[in-house]
Amino acid sequence: IKGNSYVGGLIGKFGFGQLENCHVSGKVEGTGDFVGGLAGLYNNSEIGEGMKNCSTSVEVIGNKHVGGLAGYSGHTTIDSCYSKGSVKGVENVGGLVGYMSSTERVKVSNSYSLASVTGTGTGNKPVGGLVGYNNKAIENCYAAGQVTGNGTNAGGLVGGNGGTINSSYYDIDTTKQPVIEGNPRGVGKASINMAKKDTFAGWNFEAGGIWKITEGVSYPYLQWQGTEDIPLIPAQVEVSSIAVKTVPTKIEYNAGDILDLSGLGVTLTKSDASTEDVVLANFAEKGITTNPVIGTVLATTNTEVTININGVTATQIIIVNPLKIYIKGTDAEVLYNLAETLPDGLSWEGATNTLTMNNFTGEYIREGTLKNITINLVGTNSINGGTVKCLEFSNITIKGTGTLELQTDNIWGAQGKMTIMESATVDIKMTKPNGSNPIRAVFGDLTVKDSGLFKVDITMSDTNPQTRTMNAAGNLTLEGSNARAEIVLNGKKPSSASRIAQNIPHIYGKLKGYYDKNAGYKVSANWNGSNGIETDPINLTYNIPSSVTDLYDKISGLVNEDDVYISVDNSGYTLEMYENNFQEVNKKDKISFAVGENSKVIYIKTTKGTDVKYYKMTILKDVAAASAALETIQGYATNSNAGGLTIAHLKAAGVKEALEGNLAAYKTAIAAEESIADLGALQTLITNSNATAAAAALETIRGYATNSNADGLTIALLETAGVKGAVSAKLEAYKTAIAGATSIVDLAALQTLITTANL
């Protein structure tokens, strides 16, 4: 039968009524749409059954909506029907029905198709073993004919699905369509399983019911068919060998990784010399197993995967590296194989294991256990950790001179003991939304010693974060005056002292020696929800600047026999003085000299509004030492000593560091000459804090400041000298000024008069 559109082996276009017990064989060909082996378009708008107990054995060719039984089905049911032969079309091509509409009562049930189906359309042109496109309902059906499609929507049962499919299957061996997990377009089964009644749970195989099956031999068939034309499954041929055709995408692992065989495919050679390629998705249906199975947590003892079908095997080699903690770079290159000989699992344990991290940047991608490990830090090391979860550790030592930055979203479930020592820094950087808990359920003891630093830098999306940004229990102990621990929230201190518990941490547990860097007051938090946290006073830790230029414009010092007091000259500044670093426990109103002690290092903090500066300086007490030093220069303050007191002498006497400030007056003072007429340059060697001591010392040489020595060393000159800053670095002009001078005895003591940093 040939035509254009609406072409059918029995009816081209059927609008009303029922079709029952109708059977067609032959060829139906249409150049247009709506072409079917029995009906081109079947649309029963009457109440009652539609098509029932019908079959076709035909070759059907059409364009769109092409089916072995009906090209298009609307407003009707199709029940207990089957088709054989071949169906070919461009779009919506199905072995039984080309297109099922979404109209009322549309359903295909208890039917099957053995027809081969070919779709020639490209792109989204559905082609399916039973139905090209289902827009309504399919129930208790199957398909077993080969399905070939050039487009993207080819399926063993249906090509496209916009409706429901229940208890319906397709033969993956004969349709040549693979199993797809969670497939909404039917369930794929191997031929041998399509001959098992158990596969079709819920189908009616009762006597006088709908279906019959000869297990191990046939597909299900309809009871009204009788014993003729029974659909047999393909003859089952034993597999004689199996070989890997495509290797898995991943064959190299690390201990603790999960086995993933994606990409694995095999070729089965059968006893009749035929071959069959099987992709991983079809392994289960074909009865192919692997050992170990997919999802196994791998250990180094896993060196191969055995692929088995009915006792016939093949092997695929895999590599499992014995990594305990797996650290990889951003390019996925494995950077650290921490120990080749350690036990399997996700732990790194031993008595002498040491990892040196030198300017490493990468990713920490393992949960696990760390025990008895020393990590030596060199340079800045950054590990992006995501969530660090359930990490148990004990006897961990982090040392060296470098920094370890752990950039993570969450740290929780961690417990153990850790020590940070030498000059090592551990900096945990976290970014969290408002109200979340970056650090929680952490139980352990952390000790920071030497010049170590432990820092937690939390950035919240809200400047006034919710409570419980930190929920931890344990002891954080600072050993020694240089050990530091800091928590920084949004890069600044909380809005007020009363809000420290809300804005920084809810910390559970006793943190011995825990201090906050930015807040400026003692940490106040809850301990076990009720008691105030037990802690020493706040420990402010800051980097001391190398430059002290601004110090002398703001600070004046007075020295007596016992104590040092510091005051601020410039109005508007407040001043705090500390002994032995900027720590609250070292804050002093005065600093006292012990018996026999001649110098003190003090730390000064000046504040004026938001302008805060920190300084370190040395204060000298011993006036006698200053006097003795000055007496040694008496021979150079006379006319009889033309060489005079030279900068070279002073430098040789112990002025070790550079002079600071304007040297314009010096550059012409003794150019190519052997005496200094003006000793005003000496003023830069004496600071305010020593003006009194210098004056007292110079009383002993008053006799040298006479009219006969007008250009020599005078009290006026030295008293004028005590108002400016420190000595400068540019002494090159003086290095050869008076190379031949020899009358200096000992100016080494002069250096004790210098009170600036580094001298």
Q: Name which of 161-170, 393-402, 663-672 the model is least confident about.
A: 663-672
pLDDT value at residue 484? 73
| pLDDT tens readout for residues 346-381 | 333 333 445 566 555 545 444 555 666 777 777 787
pLDDT value at residue 621? 52
**Domain C-terminal end among 225, 252, 275:** 225
What is the tally of structural domains in the chain? 5
Residue 616 sits in the same domain as residue 628: no
Instruction: Say yes or no to pLDDT of 481 above 90.
Output: no
Residue 648 sits in the same domain as residue 665: yes
Residue 44 sits in the same domain as residue 178: yes
Is 445 inside a domain boundary?
yes
Residue 281 sits in the same domain as residue 417: no
**Domain C-terminal end among 270, 303, 321:** 321
Q: Can you give the CATH number for the domain in which 75 is found?
A: 2.160.20.110
Region 707-727: mean pLDDT is 33
Angle at 594 between CA 590 and CA 598, to 5 degrees: 95
How far apart are alpha carbons 638 and 629 in whole angstroms? 17
Structural domain that includes position 155: 2-225
pLDDT value at residue 571? 52
Region 500-509: mean pLDDT is 30
pLDDT value at residue 412? 53
Residue 311 sits in the same domain as residue 458: no
| pLDDT tens readout for residues 535-575 | 322 222 222 333 333 333 333 333 444 555 555 544 566 77
189-198, 468-477, 485-494, 708-717 — most confident range: 189-198
Residue 689 sits in the same domain as residue 579: no
Listed in sequence order, the residues at least 6 apart from 431 whose beta carbon sits closer than 8 Å to its beta carbon are 409, 458, 459, 460, 461
Residue 297 sits in the same domain as residue 393: no
Is 171 inside a domain boundary?
yes
| pLDDT tens readout for residues 260-305 | 999 999 999 998 899 999 999 899 888 999 999 999 988 777 889 9
Which SS3 state, helix, strand or coil, does residue 669 take? coil
Angstrom distances, CA of residue 15 to CA of 18, 75, 296, 546, 629: 10, 9, 58, 97, 125
Residue 57 sits in the same domain as residue 147: yes
Residue 129 sits in the same domain as residue 13: yes
Residue 518 sits in the same domain as residue 600: no
Is 581 inside a domain boundary?
yes
Instruction: Say yes or no to pLDDT of 591 above 80.
Output: no
Is 414 inside a domain boundary?
yes
Q: Can you give the CATH number for the domain in which 289 is found?
A: 2.60.40.3630
Residue 631 sits in the same domain as residue 711: yes
- CB burial of residue 73 (10 Å; 0-12, 13-18, 19+): buried
Average pLDDT, the chain: 67
Angstrom distances, CA of residue 396 to CA of 7, 36, 237, 479, 747: 82, 77, 62, 17, 52
For the chain, state the CA radius of gyration.
46
- When comparing pLDDT for 643 and 603, which is higher? 603
Matching residue, tokens 């004056």: 695
Matching residue, tokens 């009871």: 223
Do 130 and 94 meet the contact criterion of CB atoms below 8 Å apart?
Answer: yes
Is 101 inside a domain boundary?
yes
Is 537 inside a domain boundary?
no
Q: Name which of 588-597, 631-640, 719-728 the model is least confident about.
A: 719-728
- When comparing pLDDT for 393 and 167, which is higher? 167
Instruction: Say yes or no to pLDDT of 228 above 50.
Output: yes
Instruction: Say yes or no to pLDDT of 253 above 50.
Output: yes
How far apart are alpha carbons 279 and 340 in whole angstroms? 35
Is 234 inside a domain boundary?
no
Q: What is the spatial order of strands in the sheet that 39-43 belongs to?
A: 11-14, 39-43, 70-74, 97-100, 131-134, 158-161
Angstrom distances, CA of residue 492 to CA of 16, 362, 502, 514, 640: 81, 28, 14, 17, 65
How far apart are alpha carbons 703 and 713 in whole angstroms? 10
Instruction: Say yes or no to pLDDT of 33 above 60.
Output: yes
Listed in sequence order, the residues at least 6 apart from 499 whose beta carbon sits closer than 8 Å to its beta carbon are none
Residue 300 sits in the same domain as residue 398: no
pLDDT value at residue 455? 77
* Beta-sheet pairing, 361-364 with 380-389: parallel
**Domain C-terminal end among 289, 321, 353:** 321
